[in-house]
A and B are shown apart, each in its own frame.
Chain A
C-alpha cells in the first residue's frame, strides 16, 4: 500500500484491515436485505392475489371477522380530531368500535368532540387492569354507537394506549395515531390471517407516505410522490422497509416491528404483558419484543405477522431538523430496548427471535451508524491522505451504497408489479431518482442523527422531541387539514428494514 505520509506501517495495516471488515459488514448486511427481498417476493404476489375484490367482499359479508377496538390517542388535535374520527368511523368493516383517548389536551378537542358526536358521560364501567394516569371521564356518543371517548390526564402515548386497552370491549385492538389516514378497506385486509386459520398475536400493515398525495375527506384519492428530496427519499425508504423488509421477516420468524401507527394486536396478550411501556421512547418496538418474549416464555403458539396490502398513510418530516429528532429518538429507543431485552440475543430459548431477529437488530440496525461512520471517515481521509488505495473508495461506494440503491430499485419494481399505487409515470421516475439520490447526503445525515442517539442514551435522555406536521393536502387550504400543522405528535412510523 503506497503511503504519502509519514505514518507507521501498523497504522496503515490497521486502517486497511478495519476498512476491509467494514466492507464485509456492509456486504453481509446488504446481502441479508437481498435475502429478505427474495423471501418477500412470493409473499407479495400471494397477498396481491388474495386482495382481489371478490375475495374481500366475501369476507366483508361473513360474520367470521374478528371484533376490533381501534385505539386512537390524541393530544391537542382539536382542529383535526373530528374529521380524523369520522374517517375511522366509516371504515368498511362490520365489527369494530373506536376508542379515542384524549390525553390531557389543553385545547378544545373534547368540546369539539362533544358537539360533533353528541357525547354523554357514562360511568366508568370498565375493567381496569393496567396502571395509568387518572381517567377523568368516559363518554359515549348518541349518534355513533361504536364510539367511546376517554378523557384522561396527560401521560403520553403509551399511557393513553393502556387506558384504551382497558376500555376496549373487543378481543383485538388496533393501535393507530390520530393523524394517520387508514384506508377504508385496510381493516378488512388486516383481518386476512384470521381467515387463513392462523393463530395471531399481532398483525401489521403497510405505512405509506402521504406528503403530496391528494387527500379528500380523510381519504387518499391520488397517491403521489413528493418532489422534495427529503420526503421523496423517505417514500422510497418506506417502500423498501415495508414491501420487502418486514414481509421477508414473516418467513424467517421473529418479526419484531409492527408499526405503532397501524398494528392489530390480541388484547389479552397485551394485558398479560401489562400493556405499553411508558418509560420508552419507541413503545411500539419495545412492545413487540416484549410480546415475542412473552409468547416464547409461555410456549404460546401465536405469530406476529406483517401483510403488505392494508395501508395507512402518514406524514413524514420535510425538514432536516425534524427528521433528525425523529431518527435520533427511534435509534435511542432501539438502543434502550436492546439493552433491556439483551438476554434474548443469541438465546436459543427464544427461537428465531433470539437467534435471528435480535442479533440482526443488534448488528445491522443498532451498530450500523457506528460502522458506517467509521467506514466513511477511514475511506474519505484514508484516500485523501493516500493511506488507502482508491480501490477501497470504489469498493465502499459499490458495497455500501450502490448495493442499497439496487435493493431500493427492486422494491420500487415490486410495488409497481403488485399494488401499483403510483399511477403517474412521473412518480415512478421520481422514485427511481430518489433511490439513487439516497446515498448522497441523506444516508450520511441519518448516520449522524443515529450517532447522536448513543450520546443522548448514555446521558439518560428520555425526551421525545417535538415534531411539526405540514398537514394533508395543504394546497387545498382546507382548514381541517391545514390545521394539522399546529399539532405536535410524538409517534411516527419507523421505516426500518
Chain B
C-alpha cells in the first residue's frame, strides 16, 4: 500500500536525480566545449605546419614540435587527421620514426593491452600512423581483438608492415570474414602485393576448402598480381560454381592473351552467375573478338547476364558497340530492351555501372 513517506521519498529520489543530471549537463557541456576548442585550436595550428611538410618537405621535426605543444588527446586528433591527407610512404616512415619516442605517443601506446577497448582502439589508430616493425606482436594481438572496430583499424596498422607473419595471419583469417571485411583487408594487403602473392601461391591447391579458396581468389583479384591470377585461372573448371564465379570475376584483372579464351568458356557456363561475371570480365578487358559471344549473351534468359553482356559490349566499343546497337532493333524483346537501356548510357555511366 502507498504511504505518504514512501511517495515523498521517491519524489526526493527523482529530485536528486534531476539535480545530478542538470549539474552533469552544465559541467560536462563546459568541459566538452573546452576540449573541443583545444582540438580545433590544435587542428588550426597544425594545418600550416602539415602543409609545409607535405608540400614543401620542410622537415618532420616541425610537425613533431607542433604536436608536442598540445595535450595528448588534441595532438592525437590532429595526427589522426593525417589519414585524410595524401602522404607518401617515405613521409609516413619519417613521421613514424620521429614520433615514436614522443612521450604522448608512448603514453597512448601503453594502452595496447588495456582491458578497455577504446584504449586499444586508439592504439590501433595511432599505430596506423606511427607503427613500425617493433610493433608486430602488438598489431597481431589487435588484429585478433574481440572488438570488431579495433580489428578493423588494426588492418591499417598491419598494412604498414610487410612482415610475413602478419600477411599469413591475415590470409588465414580471410575465409572467416564477411565480404565487406574481406574487401577492407584486401585494401590493406594491397600495399604489399608481391609478398601477399608469394603467400597466396602455395594455398591454391585443388584440395583447398571452397570458402577459403574463394576468399583467396578474391584476394588475388583485388591485388591484381599476375603470378597469383595465373594460378586462379587454373580453377576455371572447378566443379563448384561458386568458385568459378569468383574465378571469372578475378580474371578481369589479368591482362594476358590466354585470359579471354578462359572467359569465353565461362561465358557458356551452365550457372548464370558465372556467365554474368565472365561477361563483365570480357568487357573490363575490352576483348574485341568476344563481340559475337557477348552479343549472343545479351539474349541470355538470365537478366544479369543480359545486363552484364550489354554493358560489356558498350565498354569494348567499336564493333562491339555497333553489335549492341544492332540488337536494339532486333527481334528478341528482352535483348532489345536491355541493349536500348545500355546504349543510351554515357561512356562515364557505362564505366560506373560496369564497375559495381
Contacts and interface: CB of A to CB of B under 8 A. Distances in A.
Are A and B genuine complex partners? yes
Most B CB within 10 A of own CB, among A62, A394, A410 = A62
Given A54-B80, A391-B3, A49 B152 contact: no
Contacts of B81: 53-54
Contact of B352 (A57, A145, A394): A145
Interface in A140-181: 140, 142-143, 145-146, 169-170
User: What range describes how many residues of B lie at the interface?
Assistant: 35 or more
Contact of B180 (A20, A65, A412): A65
Nearest to A397: B11
B154 to A, nearest CB: 12
Interface in A107-161: 120, 122-127, 140, 142-143, 145-146
Interface stretch (A373-381, A398-406, A455-463): A398-406
B152 A196 contact: yes
Contacts of A66: 180
B187 interface: yes
Contact of B14 (A53, A65, A403): A403
A397 B10 CA distance: 11
Interface of A is mostly: helix
A64 B118 contact: no
B202 to A, nearest CB: 26
A194 interface: yes
Contacts of A412: 25
B348 interface: yes
A21 interface: no
Interface in B1-16: 1-4, 7-8, 10-11, 14
Interface in A9-51: 20, 23, 45-46, 49-50
Nearest to B351: A145
Given A54-B80, A413-B28, A195 B152 contact: yes
Contacts of B272: none
A52 B22 CA distance: 28
B21 A413 contact: yes
Contacts of A67: 356
B261 interface: no
B337 interface: yes
Given A62-B184, A145-B352, A413-B24, 17 more contacts: A46-B117, A58-B128, A61-B187, A63-B187, A64-B179, A125-B307, A125-B334, A127-B303, A145-B353, A146-B352, A194-B181, A195-B181, A196-B149, A197-B181, A394-B7, A395-B2, A398-B11
Interface of A: 20, 23, 45-46, 49-50, 52-55, 57-59, 61-67, 95, 120, 122-127, 140, 142-143, 145-146, 169-170, 191, 194-199, 391-392, 394-395, 398-399, 402-403, 405-406, 409-410, 412-413, 416-417, 420, 425, 428, 432
21 contacts: A23-B2, A45-B118, A53-B84, A64-B183, A66-B180, A122-B340, A123-B337, A142-B346, A142-B349, A391-B7, A394-B8, A395-B7, A399-B10, A410-B21, A413-B25, A413-B28, A416-B29, A420-B29, A420-B36, A425-B29, A428-B29
